[in-house]
Structure 1
């Protein structure tokens, strides 16, 4: 699949790059994509939720009324879950939500997600960006030139670039990552993927193995 290389003004440079069919042209495995997205979201959960149960409530252990003759149900402790301020029955406890997937399955999922974006023609290739200083305005102008202003976009750099990252940080809907930070959830969640030329070689060599 050939894609034209654009410059920061959104114009074609006259050059084209060939996207690897082994990464961008496979038959998508939707179930692998589902499993990888599910794992990513599960791994974001802290699992620190906790409610105090009956044994953990601070309060008197005195029997609050006599056993018989009151005409109401017997009650032995103010910490009972049936009273306001009592412990919670079967409350949440800290839990590890971490899930694991094999490396091969994760690669299949990422190739599938990239192939889906390629079929949707939602992939752009851009010349390498190089900002002298962080500039949100300059980065915003690039997005406008690519007609991505206000859309969910994922920009993949070839190497870590602090100035480009800082320039994008205040813009809602746009995210800048390096190839090592690219995952299935971010690919699926974005409306458009923008690959800088320097990023393609590393991604293709990593995912085609």
Structure 2
């Protein structure tokens, strides 16, 4: 599959980039994408939530009144969950939300996500970027030229580029990522995926 390569002015350079069909034109698997996104979000959870149960609440363990003969319901100590200030029944406990996903499923999910972006015309290939200094205005101008300003943008770079990363950092909904670290969530969470020309070698081998 061939797509046009644009420059930073948003103009077609007349050159074509080759996208691997086995990455960008597969039979997309929606369930694999769902599983990969679910795993990514689960891995972000700290799992440190905790509420006090009956045995952990600070309070007297004295029985409030006798079991029988009072004309009321039976009741134990003041830490009972049915009383104000008592413990919580089946409250959250610290746990690990991570779960395993096979490498083949994760690979299929990434390829499916990239295929969806191509089908939705949300993938753009541009010439390599080289900022002399970090400048947010330069990144904003490129986004405007490519008509993706105001959208969630994911810029894929061949390697860590400090000037480009710093230039995009203050732009709302803009994110940069090294091609080797590309994941399904980042792709699906963007409205436009911009891939630099040098990044394609890595992306085509995902």
Q: Displacement, 1:117? A: 1.1
Q: Give matches, 1:1-209, under 5 Å.
A: 1-205=1-205, 207=206
Deviation at 1:66, TM superposition (A): 3.0
Q: CA RMSD in A?
A: 1.2
Q: How many residues align?
A: 206
Following superposition, the deviation at residue 27 of structure 1 comes to: 1.2
Superimposed CA distance per residue, residues 12-64 of structure 1 (whole angstroms, 9 cap, x where no aligned partner)? 22211111111111111122112111211222222111110000111112222
Structure 2 unaligned blocks of 5 or more: none
Instruction: Give the CA deviation at 1:183.
Output: 0.7
Which 4+ stretches in 1 moved above 4 angstroms?
none
Unmatched runs of 5 consecutive residues or more in structure 1: none
Deviations along 1:132-179, one digit per CA (max 9) or x if unpaired, are: 211111111110111011011111011101111111111112111111
TM-score in terms of structure 1 length = 0.94
Give distance in 2, aligned partners of 1:180 and 1:89: 46
Q: Comparing 57-66 with 105-114, which one deviates more in the overlay?
A: 57-66
